[in-house]
Amino acid sequence: MLDSMTYAEFKATLAQPAPPSSVHELLVALWYDANDDWEQAHEVAQSNEGLKHYDQLHAYLHRKEGDNWNAKYWYTRAKTSVFVGSLADEWEMLVKQFLTL
């Protein structure tokens, strides 16, 4: 973990003009996603394909895009179940998970 940050603190950064520099790049990707820059978030997901957390991010992004077939592929690669719940719930779960990296 680079710097200890809470979920609430991370959410507060969403109003800033740029992502925080002291967090894992997976959190940077979720910051971009929350700020409507899916492409930038997707680039991070693609940067380390084959690593579980990146594949989880990849799955979430394709689910958000509405490409359920592709999302299922990435959930399978991440060796995790397809997320059942809202996109907002999945985003929150991923942020909390990635804050521990």
What pLDDT score does 3 carry? 52
pTM for this prediction: 0.94
pLDDT at position 2: 46
Separation between Cα atoms, residue 54 and residue 57, nearest integer Å: 5
44-49: long-range pairs with CB below 8 Å, 24+: 49/77
Sign of dihedral through CA atoms 63, 35, 8, 56? positive
Query: With a cut of 70, which residues of the chain have pLDDT below it?
Result: 1-3
CA dist., res. 85 & res. 39, Å (int): 23
- The DSSP result for 19-51, as a single string, is --TTS-HHHHHHHHHHTT-HHHHHHHHHHTTTS
pLDDT at 4: 81
Cβ contacts of residue 80 below 8 Å, gap of 6+?
52, 56, 59
